[in-house]
C-alpha cells in the first residue's frame, strides 16, 4: 500500500474503498451467484456522496468478465418526467436497435405503432414489453441491471423494477438499485418495500452507508494511531479531534421503515 507523510504523521492509503470490504464482498457474492445462474436483488441507500455508486462500481467490476450482460442506468432529476427514459437508454432501446423487439418498443414509445386510446396505455404496454425483453435476453446470458439514483426514477421505471423483482427467483437477473434517502417519494418507498419484501440485500449498518461509518474508519486508519512519540497526547486531546469530526458529519436521514 502507498505511504503518505503529512508533516511527520505517516499512514497508508487503501487502493480500494475505505471501510467497504464487507459490503463489496456481499455484492460480489450476488454476482458470483448470478454467473452461476441465480438471480438476486440489492438495494443500496445512503446520503449524497457517501459512496453508493463507487460501491456498486467496485463490487460489479467483475460481472462482465464473468460472462454477465451488464446494463447500467442512472436516473436524472429532470428526466423523471420522461416515462422509461432511463431504462430505454440503459437497455439501448432505439428504433435503430439491431433486434426487432427493442426497435418495436422504441417505436411504441414514440407513438408510431400504437392503436390504443391513451398515452398511459402506451407506457403500460412498453413496461410489459421491456420486462419481457429482459426476461428473454437473460436466457442467453445472466443479466446485471443496475439502476442508480433511483430517488429520481419515473413511475413507469419503478414499475419495471417491481415487475422484474418478481422474476429474479426464476431467471438469472441481478437487479441492483442505489438511492438517496431524499427526496422521500411515496412511489420510491413503495418500490423499496417491494424489493425488500422479495429479499433484496439491504443491510443497515452494512450496505446502508452513513458518513459516520466512513469517518469512524478514516479516524481509525488515518488519524489514529499517531506514530509513537510524534504527537503530544495532551495536545491531541485539547484539539479534540473526535469532536471536530463530529461537527462535520451530518445527521443521518435513513429511509423510514414501512
Ligand X SMILES: Nc1ncnc2c1ncn2[C@@H]1O[C@H](COP(=O)(O)OP(=O)(O)OP(=O)(O)O)[C@@H](O)[C@H]1O
Q: Give the distance, in angstroms, between the CA of residue 213 and the centroid of all CA atoms in the same chain.
A: 18
b/e for 70-94, b at 16 or more Cβ within 10 A? bbbbbbbeebbeebbbbbbbbbebe
- Say whether residue 20 binds ligand X (CB under 6 A): yes
State the DSSP string of 109-135: HTTSS--SS-HHHHHHHHHHHHHHHHH
Minimum CB separation of residue 179 from ligand X in Å reads 8
Q: Residue 104: CB partners within 8 Å, gap ≥ 6?
A: 113, 129
Q: Residue 42: CB partners within 8 Å, gap ≥ 6?
A: 27, 30, 174, 175, 176, 177, 200, 201, 202, 207
Residue of minimal Cβ distance to ligand X: 51
Residue 73 interacting entry, from Mg ion, ligand X, none, C-beta within 5 to 8 Å by type: none
- Say whether residue 58 binds Mg ion (CB under 5 A): no
Looking at the Cβ atoms of 18 and 125, the one nearer to ligand X is 18
Looking at the Cβ atoms of 138 and 151, the one nearer to Mg ion is 151
Of the candidate residues 14, 18, 33, 53, the single one contacting Mg ion (CB under 5 A)? 53
- Say whether residue 62 binds ligand X (CB under 6 A): no
- Say whether residue 211 binds ligand X (CB under 6 A): no
In terms of Cα–Cα distance, which of 219, 181, 217, 186 is closest to 202?
181
For residue 98, give Cα distances in angstroms to 85, 94, 103, 160.
19, 9, 7, 22
Of the candidate residues 35, 39, 40, 52, the single one contacting ligand X (CB under 6 A)? 52
Of the listed pieces 53-61, 88-96, 158-166, 235-243, which binds Mg ion according to CB under 5 A?
53-61
Residue 19 interacting entry, from Mg ion, ligand X, none, C-beta within 5 to 8 Å by type: ligand X
Residue 50 interacting entry, from ligand X, Mg ion, none, C-beta within 5 to 8 Å by type: ligand X
Residue 161 interacting entry, from ligand X, Mg ion, none, C-beta within 5 to 8 Å by type: none
Give the footprint of Mg ion on this chain (CB under 5 A).
52-53
- Which stretches of the chain bind ligand X, using CB under 6 A? 17-20, 46, 48-54, 149, 180, 214
Amino acid at each position: 500500500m502507498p505511504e503518505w507523510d503529512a508533516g511527520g504523521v505517516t499512514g497508508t492509503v487503501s487502493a480500494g474503498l475505505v471501510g467497504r470490504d464487507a459490503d463489496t464482498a456481499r455484492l460480489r457474492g450476488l454476482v458470483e451467484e448470478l454467473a452461476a445462474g441465480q438471480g438476486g436483488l440489492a438495494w443500496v441507500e445512503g446520503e449524497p456522496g457517501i459512496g453508493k455508486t463507487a460501491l456498486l462500481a467496485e463490487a460489479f467490476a467483475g460481472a462482465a468478465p464473468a460472462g454477465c450482460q451488464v446494463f447500467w442506468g442512472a436516473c436524472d432529476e429532470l428526466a423523471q418526467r420522461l416515462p422509461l427514459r432511463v431504462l430505454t437508454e440503459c437497455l439501448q432501446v432505439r428504433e435503430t436497435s439491431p433486434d426487432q423487439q427493442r426497435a418495436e418498443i422504441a417505436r411504441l414509445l414514440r407513438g408510431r405503432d400504437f392503436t390504443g386510446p391513451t398515452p398511459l396505455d402506451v407506457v403500460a404496454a412498453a413496461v410489459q414489453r421491456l420486462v419481457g425483453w429482459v426476461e428473454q435476453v437473460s436466457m442467453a446470458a445472466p443479466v446485471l441491471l443496475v439502476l442508480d439514483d433511483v430517488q429520481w426514477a419515473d413511475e413507469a421505471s419503478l414499475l419495471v423494477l417491481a415487475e422484474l423483482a418478481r422474476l429474479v427467483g426464476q431467471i438469472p437477473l441481478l437487479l441492483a438499485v442505489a438511492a438517496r434517502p431524499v427526496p422521500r417519494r411515496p412511489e420510491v418507498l413503495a418500490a423499496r418495500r417491494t424489493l425488500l419484501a422479495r429479499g433484496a440485500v439491504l443491510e443497515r449498518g452494512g450496505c446502508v452507508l452513513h458518513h459516520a461509518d466512513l469517518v469512524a474508519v478514516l479516524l481509525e486508519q488515518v488519524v489514529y494511531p499517531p506514530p509513537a512519540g510524534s504527537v503530544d497526547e495532551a495536545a491531541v486531546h485539547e484539539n479534540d479531534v473526535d469532536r471536530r469530526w463530529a461537527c462535520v458529519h451530518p445527521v443521518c436521514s435513513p429511509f423510514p421503515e414501512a
